[in-house]
């Protein structure tokens, strides 16, 4: 599981984003559309029309970072946008599931025995 430092939030930008954007273009979307500070240290996640590619932009303390992942095969589960600026905030566990391509909204739980022995 991916552990985030205390206080760091993961914001998923609902809907589709133009994946041709780099870190500066995505940082401008964080400011203009999500109305958040891209330099806050929080992670901001974006997905395009193709469901197999996501990008994260975040500031690690001394610079702006861009993380990209493509799933082969499959796609990332993503919320739909009803209004510009819609977003969902994830926990560290949900982020780990998202990055692995697991449905973070309703993960399949591991079987647990009913009694010992």
- For 59-95, how does the pLDDT look when each residue is reduced to its tens digit (9 = 90+)? 988 999 999 999 988 888 887 777 877 888 888 888 8
Q: What is the DSSP letter of 42?
A: -
The pLDDT value recorded for residue 81 is 72
Q: Which residues pair with 87 in a beta bridge?
A: 13
- Cα→Cα distances 55→51, 64, 69, 101, 115, Å: 11, 13, 7, 14, 43
This prediction has a pTM of 0.81
- Residue 100, pLDDT > 80, answer yes
Which residues, listed in sequence order, are joined to residue 58 by a DSSP beta bridge?
Answer: 65
Distance CA 24, CA 117 (A): 57
| Three-class DSSP category at 63 | coil
Of 3-7, 23-27, 57-61, where does mean pLDDT reach its minimum? 3-7
What is d(CA 93, CA 2) in angstroms, rounded to the nearest whole number? 7
Encoding tokens for residue 66?
Answer: 């861009």
Straight-line distance from the first to the last Cα atom of the chain, in angstroms, rounded to the nearest whole number: 29
Residue with structure tokens 């914001």?
11
């Amino acid at each position: 599981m991916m552990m985030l430092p205390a206080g760091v939030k993961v914001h998923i930008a609902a809907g589709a984003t133009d994946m041709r954007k780099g870190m500066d273009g995505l940082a401008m979307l964080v400011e203009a559309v999500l109305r958040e500070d891209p330099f806050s240290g929080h992670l901001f996640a974006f997905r395009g029309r193709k469901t197999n590619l996501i990008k994260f932009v975040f500031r690690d303390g001394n610079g702006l970072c861009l993380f990209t992942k493509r799933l082969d095969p499959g796609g990332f589960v993503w919320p739909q946008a009803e209004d510009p600026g819609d977003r969902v905030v994830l926990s560290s566990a949900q982020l780990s599931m998202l990055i692995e391509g697991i449905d973070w909204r309703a993960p399949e739980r591991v079987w647990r025995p009913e009694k010992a022995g």
